[in-house]
Structures are given as structure tokens and as C-alpha cells.
Amino acid sequence: MSKKPTAGPALHKVIMVGSGGVGKSALTLQFMYDEFVEDYEPTKADSYRKKVVLDGEEVQIDILDTAGQEDYAAIRDNYFRSGEGFLCVFSITDDESFQATQEFREQILRVKNDESIPFLLVGNKCDLNDKRKVPLNECQVRAQQWSVPYVETSAKTRENVDKVFFDLMREIRSRKTEDSKATSGRAKDRCKKRRLKCTLL
């Protein structure tokens, strides 16, 4: 285990999932480069790395922006497997994208086989509140069902953009320290603990 003490800042791997056109890339680009891209261009897969300061500690974040379209589902598994945290994005102006989050959640759990994987439900495009199709309480109910936090963002106005990434990184970090504490053989225990904690939140 202690073969090589990992040099350099900690690396957290975040994966963006959600239907096509909900603004995964827009959120990512806003977070990465402070830019908002108006025109829509479907993503196949893109990956970014950024150094950030998380609670006074320098860390690296790897963001993988995946394709919303079903066409690229085959390569998605390969990415999901190596992800440490997930931002599940939908558009509050598009009910279908909200429904689709259920499927994404299931797919992630299937690949990761872990109920308590760091995960945030993100309702994007909150600047378009007048065109809202998904009621707020419905989103909150689903988040509660999954025991995950729910955050509304706007890639356009940058509202809560940093928050979702940093919140997720914190979850990943605490998860990692927990993992290293709870050494082999107590995996089941840990899962239960985690779930309890989440529901409390």
C-alpha cells in the first residue's frame, strides 16, 4: 500500500452526466475558463484538469464532460468506472431531461456498485425561471430519495457553478479519507454509516 507516497496535490475525478443539451459543457466551461458558450455543439467526450484551492488545500480536479446522447453510451461505462464523483445535470426547463436523471443514476450505481458514491443532482438553467417546467419541490423530493444534495445552477450567470464543483470535491475528499481510515473488511459497515449520514443531511 505504501509503495509510493503520491506526490503532488490530490486529484479528484468528476464526471458530468445528463441528457443532451442540458448544459453540462456550459457548466464545465464556465467553471474552467469563465466563459459561456451560446451556441450548442454536442459533446462526444471532453476532459479537463484544473488546479484549485479547496478549503486552503491545493488540489487538482479532473472533469470529464460526457455525451448526453445515447449514441455514445458504449464508451460511457469506461469513464464511469474511473469517476470518483458525479454531477448529474438536467435542465429545469425540460422535464424529459429531469426524468432521464433516474436512468443516469441507475447506470452509475450499476457501474460503481456503491450507493453512497459522491453525487450531486444539478438543475441547470435557473436563469430561465420563467420557463421552468420542473417544479422545485419535485427536484428536492428526488434528491431526498437518493440522499443526495440538490443545487440549482446557471451556467450563463455563473450562479452556483463553483459551488457544485467544490461541494462535490468535498464529498469526494471526505469519502477518500474515510476509505483510507476504514481499512479492509469493513466495507459493509462503512456503507451503512454513509447512508445514515446522508439522510441526516
Partner 1 sequence: MDFDSPEEKEFPGLYASEAIDSKSKKSKEESDFSEGDHDKHSKKDLLIGRRKDKKDKGKDRGYAALEGESSPEEELDTKSPSKSKKSKTFKFTSSKSKEKREKSRDKEKEPKTLDEEPPQKAKEKEREKEKDRHNDEKDHKKKDKERKEKDKKDKFEKKDKKDKKSKQLQQEDGSEVEEVLALGYPIFGVSISLATERSRCHDGIDLPLVVRDCIDFLQQEQSLKCDHIYKVEPIKTRLLHYKRLYNNRDNDASVDDIPTACSLLKLFLRELPEPVLTTDLVARFEEVASHPKVTDQQTELEQLLEQLPKCNRTLLSWILLHFDAVIQQERYNKLNAQSLAMLLSPTLQMSHRLMVVLLCHCTNLFPDVKLIKYVPPLTSSSPGLPDNPEDIKTELRKQDSLLTQIHSEMNAGFITKKREEQLWEVQRIITQLKRKLRSCEKKQEKSIDELEHATSAPPAPAPAPQSAVQPAEQKPPTTNQSTVSAAIVSEDTIDSKSVPTHTVTSLQQHDETNITTSPPPIEYTVDKQTGYLLLSKSNPQRDDLLRLQIEYDELMNWQNELKTRILAERNEIFRIKQLYEQELLKAQPVPTISQEQLPAEGDYERIIEHYTRENSLLEHKKQMLGMEIKEERRACIALQVELRMQEF
Contacting positions for partner 1 (CB under 8 A): 13, 42, 45-49, 62, 64, 69, 71, 74-75, 77-79, 81-82
Q: How far is the CB of 37 from partner 1 (least distance, A)?
A: 10
Grid coordinates standing for 134? 420542473
Q: Specify the residue for cell string 479492509.
A: 184
Q: How far is the CB of 132 from partner 1 (least distance, A)?
A: 27
Which is closer to partner 1, CB of 80 or CB of 146?
Answer: 80
Which is closer to partner 1, CB of 137 or CB of 188?
Answer: 188
Which is closer to partner 1, CB of 108 or CB of 134?
Answer: 108
Q: How far is the CB of 122 from partner 1 (least distance, A)?
A: 21
Tell me whether residue 186 is exposed, middle or buried, using C-beta atoms within 10 angstroms of its C-beta: 0 to 12, 13 to 18, 19 or more: exposed
Which is closer to partner 1, CB of 2 or CB of 137?
Answer: 2
Q: How far is the CB of 183 from partner 1 (least distance, A)?
A: 12
Which is closer to partner 1, CB of 146 or CB of 165?
Answer: 165
Q: How far is the CB of 47 from partner 1 (least distance, A)?
A: 4
